[in-house]
Amino acid sequence: MIERRSRPLNSLSASFAAVIALFAWGGLASSEAADRSSSAKQSATNYQSAAQAQADDYSTVPLLSPVDCPDLPRYTGKQKFIGGTCSPRRKGGKSYIQRFAAQEEAATVSNWYKSALQASGQWKIFKERGNNIMASHAKGHECFVFFYGNPEKNERCRYTLRVFIHD
């Protein structure tokens, strides 16, 4: 029985690139072929780094408690934090998604946010649909309040507060 050794994919790719380089540049000295192989490896590494960096831009971190977002009024009614996430390295700033269950009706919570955002003088509501609100801040921040799902016992509504904080 023949025993096989497995090699990591990167070393196989590098070996393959070196073999191709030798055949493609048959008249070149081996050091020149090695330089080209090294260049091919660096290009692959740069690509992987760029792909990883892009993936990191959209990575999320779970929130264990509500976060006070700059320039955004915090709801003063009775509510409980259900959960959320933060995308700390989103291009241009941070993104927060927080879910709450409130003891007030959706219309009451929505009206509170409309009044508080408008009273600040910095937020402009640019879209309303039912109780849902979309607003933008003078500094470029964005806020979305969306109501969803069926509330559980002792709840009147559930909503998501999605905020993008511009750097």
Q: What is the pLDDT of residues 53-103, one digit of tens each?
A: 455 556 888 999 999 988 999 999 999 999 999 988 767 788 999 999 999
Nearest to 135 by CA among 119, 144, 98: 144
pLDDT at 56: 56
Give me the mean pLDDT over the 11-20 stretch.
35
Give me the mean pLDDT over the 96-116 stretch.
96
Residue 3 pLDDT > 90? no
The angle at the Cα of 105, spanning 134 to 117, to the nearest 5 degrees, equals 30
Residue 42 pLDDT > 60? no
Q: State the Cα–Cα distance between residues 63 and 15, nearest whole angstrom.
A: 45
Instruction: Kindly report the pTM of this predicted structure.
Output: 0.65
The pLDDT confidence band at residue 154, using thresholds 50, 70 and 90, is: confident
Q: How much is the mean pLDDT over the chain?
A: 75
